[in-house]
Amino acid sequence: GAVVSQHPSRVICKSGTSVKIECRSLDFQATTMFWYRQFPKQSLMLMATSNEGSKATYEQGVEKDKFLINHASLTLSTLTVTSAHPEDSSFYICSARWDRGEGTQYFGPGTRLLVL
Amino acid sequence: RKEVEQDPGPFNVPEGATVAFNCTYSNSASQSFFWYRQDCRKEPKLLMSVYSSGNEDGRFTAQLNRASQYISLLIRDSKLSDSATYLCVVNARGGTYKYIFGTGTRLKVLA
């Protein structure tokens, strides 16, 4: 299947700092990328959908000024958690899809963020 | 009501057992359905898509009942390596074709 990578795999930071997470599709061009967050023992919750070259669409309750998403190329999307706080500690997972329709999503390995 | 509902389990079954999971969804306009498997602290991995006619992949069988809006997954001859959380996923139409995840059902296969 298609390969999606994420970097870093885990990050520990101090409260108030910003953290950038990269998501890359390695062997296909990702027209659409998704960012999810998963808290312990909970399901994946979609944060935002980004299409290459356009602004991300955020889900209700997700602050777009806090979670900055950039999808500048067909193989790279970045999520920046600005002024991170302990409640932002979570497992962040991206996924990528080659089309804007019903194509299968391929998931990255996730980034574990711990904010102290 | 949640858009996609699953029994969280855990289901503890002996090796070799047959186990079934169900999932219900609320959006009747949903078009595509999947079962994903997620191991502890890892990303979800696609187990199988679910087709209207039902489909089988080795020991795994998936069924879709559109009238009742539920999806099932049957695992036969359970292996220790089947221990994981199984996520029911519905691809919702409405512009962005986004995945809606259930909370997952935990399965533990015991030796």
Q: Could you give the CA distance from residue B89 to residue B86 in angstroms, rounded to a whole number?
A: 10
Closest-approach residue (CA) in chain A for B4: A43
When pLDDT is averaged across residues B24-43 and rounded to a whole number, the result is: 89
Strand, coil or helix: B30: coil
CB of B101 within 8 Å of a chain A CB? The answer is: yes
Q: What is the mean pLDDT of chain B?
A: 91
What phi, psi does B107 have (nearest 5°)? Answer: -120, 130
Assess whether pLDDT exceeds 70 at residue B96: no
Q: How high is the pLDDT of residue B2? A: 80
pLDDT tens for residues A58-93? 999 999 999 999 988 889 999 999 999 999 999 999
Assess whether pLDDT exceeds 80 at residue A1: no
**Higher pLDDT pick, A104 / B55:** B55
Q: By mean pLDDT, which of A5-14, B12-21, B26-35, B68-77 is the weakest? A: B26-35
Instruction: State percent of chain B over pLDDT 90.
Output: 73
Closest-approach residue (CA) in chain B for A41: B103
Assess whether pLDDT exceeds 90 at residue B23: yes
Q: Could you give the CA distance from residue B42 to residue A93 in angstroms, rounded to a whole number?
A: 9
Mutate to test the interface with A, among B89, B97, B103 (most CBs of A within 10 A): B97
Regarding beta strands A111-115 and A10-13, do their DSSP bridges make them parallel or antiparallel, or are they unpaired?
A: parallel
**Higher pLDDT pick, B18 / A97:** B18
A34 pLDDT tier (thresholds 50, 70, 90): very high
